[in-house]
Amino acid sequence: MPVFVALLDAKSAFDVVNLNSLHRKLFLSGVGGTLWLLIRQLSTYATTSIKWNGLMSKPFPVQQGVRQGGILSTELYKVYINDVLDQLENSGLGTYIGNIYCGSPTCADDVALIANSPNDLQTMISTVENYSMQEKYSLQPTKSVILKHEPPSKDTGFNFKINNIKMNEPDSAVHIGIKHSSDLKKNYQHSR
């Protein structure tokens, strides 16, 4: 059976999180009361400075984003993009193991999309692309890639696109520190 995988790269994903949207999504996911107020307070009144050549800028307010390496940042980002993962699962597109949906395995901002047909995968890519426009972050077509595993005799010649740009189709790519290959027998190589 053919397998088509899209490994998507969001440009500065943690840096562009819309804080108002994040606060709304936290509330709608059941985070309320003092915890919600604390998270809102920490992100709304955060300030930062820039250090360059030994000089420090004056502090200025952080208007968007979650801190890179912050204790809660990964969890907050997961809440932020969970809507699109729900959309993908509810669409019925993508792969399943039995009745378990496996079409969009994700670790924070590292999103993979997996389908058995090129049309399904393109629809999934377009779903994520539409969500990125809604939430005002960018997917990088040059860093997002497609891995195809299909018999040569069945090659569809399908051109996957993101932001109307043809996506690269390398023989292998690294995703969450693991080198993946179009040849499924060569996967599971840890990259360093």
For residue 45, CA distances in Å to 37, 38, 62, 68, 157 come to 12, 11, 8, 17, 51
pLDDT, one tens digit per residue, over 50-79 is 899 999 999 887 777 777 777 888 888 888
pLDDT digits (tens, 9 = 90+) for 110-159: 889 999 999 999 999 999 999 988 888 888 888 889 988 876 666 667 88
Cα gap 181→179, rounded to integer Å:
7
Per-residue pLDDT of 28-44, as tens digits, reads: 999 999 999 998 888 87
When mean pLDDT is compared across 46-50, 88-92, 174-178, 182-186, the lowest value belongs to 182-186
CA diameter of the chain: 62
Q: DSSP assignment, residue 187?
A: -
The model's pTM is: 0.80
**Element of type H or E holding 34:** helix 33-44
pLDDT, position 121: 95
Average pLDDT value over all residues in the chain = 84
Beta sheet of 189-190, edge-to-edge order: 172-175, 178-181, 189-190
Q: Are 17 and 80 in contact (CB under 8 A)?
A: yes
In whole angstroms, give the CA distance from residue 112 to residue 103: 8
The reported pLDDT for the residue numbered 177 is 72
Tokens 């039995």 label which residue?
98
